[in-house]
Amino acid sequence: MRRLGLVVGCVVALGAVSNCFAGGISGEYLEARTCDVYTGPCFANGEIGIAGKEAVMAWRIDEGKWQGKDLSGLGVALIVKANYTLGLGGTFYVNPDKITAVIVVDEKASVEQKAALLHFVKDSAPALTKDVVKVQEAPISLTNDHLAGKGVFTAGKLSRIETRALAKGDCVCSNESVIYPPLTKVDNAHAAYTLNMTYDGKDLERTWSTVNKRSAFLATFEK
């Protein structure tokens, strides 16, 4: 189901990344990184190799089936750690050679649905899921208000993202654009301001908490 006619103006203003394709499963998407994705080239250049090695990606399936299983109302997340900045496309293409990940599946899902959610994530982000060190369950919640740029994602106490819309005061050099696109193929993507993004698990041998960065995307997906 296509949505988001109301955010066209915001999308254009903030340098959106958009892909449109039809399919049988659709929903909401939220992503946050530990580097700015909407920024000036000089600022992005200063973060390469230092920041942006971590990311949290979350999907909420509004309707549809995957591998024959109805996943409507379920959520899933991919939490990623790399040895270098995750810049798979965009102005500065950086492809780290060591990426490990944790996949979090909705605790409400049945055994068959959890298997389908796992396959869905691996199909959606194959380059990021070659080394999945843990698959775990958690209560997952994801809500996006695209007009306000407000996204909120929680996976129990394991991970959280909270965003707001980018504002005029967030521009530092007046040469900002979307330097890094989303880490997976999505629709109607627009950059947002990360109020906070956390990961507090043990399986990636690293935890993080980042605040106040221009490092998130709200989007929809359809496959």
- pLDDT tens, position by position, 17-76: 333 333 489 999 999 999 999 988 877 778 888 999 999 999 999 999 999 999 999 999
- The domain in which residue 78 lies consists of 5-222
Q: Is residue 180 a contact partner of residue 89, using CB atoms and an 8 Å limit?
A: yes
12 pLDDT band (50/70/90 cuts)?
A: very low
Dihedral sign, CA of 9, 11, 15, 17? negative
184 pLDDT band (50/70/90 cuts)?
A: very high
Residue 217: CB atoms within 10 A of its CB come to 29
148 pLDDT band (50/70/90 cuts)?
A: very high
Residue 176 has pLDDT above 90, yes or no: no
174 pLDDT band (50/70/90 cuts)?
A: confident
Q: How many domains does the chain have?
A: 1
179 pLDDT band (50/70/90 cuts)?
A: very high
161 pLDDT band (50/70/90 cuts)?
A: very high
Lowest-confidence region among 8-22, 30-44, 172-186: 8-22
Residue 177 has pLDDT above 50, yes or no: yes
Q: Is residue 39 a contact partner of residue 144, using CB atoms and an 8 Å limit?
A: no
pLDDT at 88: 82
| Statement: the pTM of the whole predicted model exceeds 0.85 | yes
Quote the CA–CA distance of 21 and 179 in Å, as a whole number. Answer: 23
**Region of 177 on the Ramachandran plot (φ > 0 left; ψ -120 to 50 alpha; else beta):** beta
105 pLDDT band (50/70/90 cuts)?
A: very high
91 pLDDT band (50/70/90 cuts)?
A: confident
Q: What is the radius of gyration, based on Cα positions, of the chain?
A: 16
